[in-house]
């Protein structure tokens, strides 16, 4: 197995105990832990560089601006953007998708137009489009799932028809782990002249992503799922698409000129970054990018394939445990959802917590998918660079304890 265990020393939180047991953190799909390099970068900003950016004509402000814009350059390099200007800092993946909806959708959609997503989407890639359809009269259509939990693209040309103006697909499901059919979705969008959007919240932290070769118009992702701070996300967009978008938020920083009747906008990307931006958080994201780059995203992906394979094998041996998602680790990410007999997932999470194991239980902000699965909730264990096989063993032991407590045969 690809051994990244030496990285664990960089994550101070992993030294903690929960209920007298070593912390086994298996909820990275919700938010990842932060290495000391990221913590130090954020701390250094507040201790040495704390000033607003793009405004102060003094050295401290210039240093803060350089650090902030330096983080933008790091992110651009990480995803192979054609220009730093294609990287917009937002609050989150959710905010980034809302920027597209309100900055592009409101101005280009009309009654009868179609927005296409899939049944496995996170609410961040469902609810904004529902709101936009209310404003514009466009309709929302869905790509279904196959029996083996993949997005069914067999009839994509029928769903993505001539009325389609937006195709927005998850690069990786936060529930099923399923890797989305990005290439097929982009091709289908291109064939009808539609916008192609990728929700990369789960994809970018776990796989090497080249936005230029991907071919999409927009990719959205969040720092906190890739070892960075909360409160900052990224909207990457092709320059021509960003130029034709209107800002979804107005205020300071994003203007070129303001008078009493109208305003004009600053150049991309600043026209989308109204108000004081998440300076410290962006700098922390830059440090996270450095950290992941030093590991190598191919190594990150290989590690996750191996630890997910091990987890799937061990979980499959537990009687009455059902796994939801592809069983081939090459077709999925490291989020593994499951149920165990008739034990409620919240009860499983509570019992595992007594063993120091942190998993997620619930609908995972994917209620439409839960309805497709015929479930109210699942338990979910999700892995990242700091997890080791021994933690899978601890998870399995805790599930056997739950079986004992609830009398599951």
- pLDDT tens digit sequence for 338-385: 999 999 999 999 999 999 999 999 999 999 999 999 999 999 999 999
pLDDT, residue 408, reads 84
Encoding tokens for residue 209?
């992503």
CA distance 352 to 56: 51
Percent of residues, the chain, with pLDDT higher than 90: 98
| Average pLDDT taken over every residue of the chain | 97
pLDDT per residue as tens digits for the range 50-108: 999 998 899 999 999 999 999 999 999 999 999 999 999 999 999 999 999 999 999 99
Q: Can you say how many angstroms the Cα of residue 382 is from the centroid of all Cα atoms in its chain?
A: 13
pLDDT, residue 80, reads 98
- CA nearest neighbour of 358 among 7, 38, 14, 9: 14
pLDDT, residue 2, reads 82
**DSSP structural state of residue 179:** B
pTM for this prediction: 0.97
CA distance 124 to 113: 21
CA distance 128 to 349: 30
Structural domains of the chain in order of their starting residue, each with its CATH number: 5-28+296-406 (3.90.1150.10), 80-271 (3.40.640.10)
Q: Are the beta carbons of 336 and 312 closer than 8 angstroms?
A: yes
CA distance 172 to 202: 5
- Please give the biggest Cα pair distance in the chain: 73
Say whether 365 is catalytic: yes
Using alpha carbons only, what angle is made at residue 289 by residues 309 and 304, rounded to the nearest 5 degrees?
A: 0
Q: Which of 187, 365, 372, 375 is catalytic?
A: 365
pLDDT per residue as tens digits for the range 208-266: 999 999 999 999 999 999 999 999 999 999 999 999 999 999 999 999 999 999 999 99
Tell the burial category of 368 from Cβ atoms under 10 Å away from its Cβ (0-12, 13-18, 19+): middle
- CA nearest neighbour of 339 among 353, 325, 322, 319: 322
- CA nearest neighbour of 201 among 382, 11, 377: 382
pLDDT of 333 higher than 80:
yes
**DSSP structural state of residue 146:** -
pLDDT of 1 higher than 80:
no
CB under 8 Å to 245, separation ≥6 — which residues?
A: 99, 100, 103, 104, 107, 237, 272
| 3-state helix, strand and coil shares in percent for the chain, rounded to the nearest 5 | 45, 20, 35
pLDDT, residue 249, reads 96
pLDDT of 409 higher than 80:
no
Q: Are the beta carbons of 268 and 242 closer than 8 angstroms?
A: yes
């Amino acid at each position: 197995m690809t051994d990244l265990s030496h990285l664990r020393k960089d994550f101070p939180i992993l030294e903690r105990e929960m209920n007298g047991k070593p912390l086994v953190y298996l909820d990275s799909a919700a938010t990842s832990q932060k290495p000391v390099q990221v913590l130090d970068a954020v701390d250094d900003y507040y201790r040495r560089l704390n000033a607003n950016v793009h405004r102060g004509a003094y050295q401290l402000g210039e240093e803060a601006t350089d650090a902030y814009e330096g983080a933008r350059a790091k992110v651009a390099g990480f995803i192979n953007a054609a220009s730093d200007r294609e990287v917009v800092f937002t609050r989150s993946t959710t905010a980034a998708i809302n920027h597209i909806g309100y900055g592009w959708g409101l101005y280009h959609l009309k009654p009868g137009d179609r927005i296409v997503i899939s049944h496995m989407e996170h609410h961040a890639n469902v609810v904004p489009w529902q709101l936009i359809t209310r404003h514009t009269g466009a309709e929302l259509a869905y790509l279904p799932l196959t029996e083996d939990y993949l997005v069914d693209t067999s009839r994509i040309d029928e769903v993505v028809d001539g009325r389609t103006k937006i195709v927005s697909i998850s690069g990786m499901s936060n529930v099923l782990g399923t890797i989305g059919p990005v290439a097929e979705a982009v091709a289908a969008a291109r064939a009808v002249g539609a916008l192609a959007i990728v929700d990369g919240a789960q994809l970018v932290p776990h796989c090497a992503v080249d936005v230029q070769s991907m071919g999409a118009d927009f990719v959205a992702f969040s720092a906190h799922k890739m070892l960075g701070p909360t409160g900052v996300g990224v909207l990457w967009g092709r320059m021509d698409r960003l130029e034709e978008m209107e800002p979804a938020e107005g205020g300071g920083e994003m203007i070129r000129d303001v008078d009493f009747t109208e305003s004009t906008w600053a150049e991309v990307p600043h026209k989308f970054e109204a108000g004081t931006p998440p300076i410290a958080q962006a700098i922390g994201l830059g440090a996270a990018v450095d950290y992941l780059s030093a590991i190598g995203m191919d190594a990150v992906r290989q590690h996750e394939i191996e630890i997910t394979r091990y987890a799937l094998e061990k979980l499959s041996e537990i009687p009455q445990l059902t796994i939801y998602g592809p069983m081939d680790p090459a077709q999925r990410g490291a989020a593994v959802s499951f149920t165990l007999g008739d034990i409620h997932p919240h009860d499983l999470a509570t019992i595992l917590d007594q063993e120091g194991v942190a998993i997620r239980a619930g609908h995972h902000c994917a209620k439409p998918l839960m309805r497709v699965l015929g479930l109210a909730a699942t338990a979910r264990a999700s892995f990242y660079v700091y997890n080791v096989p021994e933690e899978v063993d601890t998870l399995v032991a805790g599930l056997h304890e739950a079986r004992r407590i609830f009398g599951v045969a």
